[in-house]
Amino acid sequence: MTAPEVLIRYETRLLELQASLQELRLEHSATAVVLGFSVGLILLLGLNAVRHRVAMWWPLVPVPVVAAAAPRFRRVRLATSREWRLKRVYERAERRMNGLWAGEGCAGDEYHDADHPYARDLSIFGEGSLFELVCIARTAIGRRGLANYLLAAPALEETRARQEAVKELQQCTGLREQVAVLGEFEAAESRWETFNDWLNAPPVPFSATLRVAAGITSAMVLGILLAGLLGVLPWARTAICILPLALFHSAAGLICRDRVREMVESLRAASLETRVLREGLQLLERQRFQSAKLVRITERVRGAALSVRRLEWLLNALHERNKDWFYQASLLLMGGTQLCMAIEQWRAQHGGALRDWIESWGEFEALNALANYAWENPGHTFPEFSESKALFEAAALGHPLLPDETCVRNDVRLNGETRFYVVSGSNMSGKSSLLRAMGLNAVLAFAGAPVRAGTLRLSPLAVCASISVVDSLLKGKSKFLAEVDRVRLTIQLATGSRTVLFLIDEIFSGTNSRDRRAAAEAVIRTLVDRGAIGALSTHDISLTEIADAPEIHGANVHLGARDGGDPMSFDYRLKPGITTETNALAIARMAGVPV
């Protein structure tokens, strides 16, 4: 499978959906006409029956037609909604394949952490980010799961398990369609915060005795009412029997009123968000996977859909209790209080399991999104992981966020012999893009996804980048101080059990050249002594001397203009040695300075 073939599949599926929508429009119109005509006929015949112009049974004649047409109308409407939603899914997929995805999807800004060691520097979130490119999650739970995958590298065993799961899901386009249309409406959501806030809320105190008594007395009320309806009890005696029970319900409801109101308010969002989660868990339970990671996920959610369905029913009933059709019965049977007690009992029994089910669904959606990324990028390769201490070796490494036609690929070899690169080059030569390509592909690799490279072999690494560090007026922190803090964090991470992959652009640019040279070498020596590997980019030639010290195993490489060409015409190819080019005057002329 090649990228053009994937695009052709998407275009073919779009044509199929458009044809299906056309058929459904015709069916919807025909069903609406039949239903409208039948309802109108019932009203007309009913009017004439009241005026004694036709027999009283005549209005019943069109009723079977309405009974058949109404559910068909609903089914057609739901099928139309499903096809429209799928059409939008494939339109977005087509734009991704054509490189028109930036600004079209979910940017994930809510997951950004300003103090994270690489999120801002590698464009993990935001418009045109890795998250926006990869994310196809149906729910906010899934988006959170994907963000967690991109923000933290797990143990090597877990990374391999994720990769195996992504490979299995890569071809499952039908399953991705089912996930995309979960819920009755596209706007329906399931958010982790909604359920987490409820699960973390203090228990609402309800007496176990009251729960039992309310159940017994409600059953007695229903029994007495049934006896009255069947004529077993006269209505006067029925009222006398129900009165003390109704008084008991009123007193108990009054005592619990504040607690019930508080619960109803806190559960309002959960009542709207449970269905999508339940349908997702139900879909997941039906799958039969082979990879160990997916098997564990499906085992963790076994039986979850049935339990969540009961919660959904209780929440919907609580939501409906104030509706006109149910209000009086709810007051008589103490419905609101009993529903709140049942929901609280459900939380006590299944609260811990619900956390696990939500976590499992978030992980599945993350893996599904990464599998879709693998499906849409068949030219990417799955990396190979090594048990060695410090390794990052890539052939034809490219930036994952650049279009194919503009992406220039380079070979990178960091290992025991070459611990770090000093990447020199003039402004705009591609130094920062090279560092980001290294970092982003490492992030993808540890998430379990394929990478934009001919081959990539790497050991477990902790990525730490200082590329887009900015000042903060709110925190009273200058850009230079922010950079120092990031370097400090990198050194601290290097003391851990996981080897650090450091990516530093224009280190300590806010100080003079001599101090910068000394400080930069001290940082690199410290990191290398602690086992780190990485790359340092600069246009300050004095910093290239750091790589000359044989004991720290560095190498000078550079990026620059095409051979013998315009100093502003870059080829973005990584070459050995130190750059000899400058383009400051050319940049000044670009800015309109007469030099």
pLDDT of 590 higher than 70: no
Residues forming a β-bridge with 590? none
User: Is the per-residue pLDDT at 49 higher than 90?
Assistant: no
**Mean pLDDT, the chain, integer:** 88
Whether residues 312 and 452 fall in one domain: no
Say yes or no to pLDDT of 232 above 60.
Answer: yes
Is residue 189 in some structural domain? Answer: no
Residue-wise pLDDT tens digits, 199-228:
998 888 887 887 888 788 888 888 888 887
pLDDT at 274 > cutoff 80: yes
Is 585's pLDDT higher than 60? no
Q: How does residue 335 score in pLDDT terms, banded at 50, 70 and 90? A: confident
Q: Are 123 and 130 in contact (CB under 8 A)?
A: yes
Percent of the chain with pLDDT over 90: 51
- Provide mean pLDDT across the span 155-183: 95
Sheet with 575-576: list strands edge to edge: 461-466, 499-505, 533-538, 420-425, 554-559, 575-576
Tell me whether residue 475 is in a domain. Answer: yes
Pairwise CA distance, residues 131 & 123, whole Å: 8
> How much is the pLDDT for 592?
64
My answer on whether 295 and 392 are in the same domain is no
Q: Note the pLDDT tens digit of each residue in 526-562.
A: 999 999 999 999 888 888 889 888 888 999 998 877 7
From 39, 66, 99, the end of a domain falls on 99
The answer as to whether 234 is a domain residue is: yes
Among 19-23, 262-266, 377-381, 591-595, the minimum mean pLDDT is found in: 591-595
Tell me which of 116 and 477 has the higher pLDDT. Answer: 116
Q: How far apart are CA 164 and CA 296, in angstroms?
A: 13
Confidence of residue 325 (pLDDT cuts 50, 70, 90): low
Regarding whether 355 and 215 lie in a shared domain, the answer is yes
Any domain includes 188: no
Rg, the chain, Cα only? 32
**What would the 3-class secondary structure string for 514-575 be?**
HHHHHHHHHHHHHHHHCCCEEEEEECCHHHHHHHHCHHHCEEEEEECECCCCCCCCECCCCE
Residues 268 and 309 both lie in one domain: yes
> pLDDT band at residue 326, thresholds of 50, 70 and 90?
low
Domain boundary among 53, 72, 99: 99
Q: Which of 295, 329, 361 is the last residue of a domain?
A: 361
How does pLDDT run across 59-83, given as a tens digit for each residue?
A: 888 888 888 888 888 898 989 999 9
Structural domains in the chain (count): 3
Domain with 326 in it: 196-361
Residues 437 and 345 in one domain: no
* Pair 2, 84 in one domain: yes
Do 331 and 392 fall within a single domain? no
Instruction: Examine the pLDDT at 513 and tell me if it is beyond 80.
Output: no
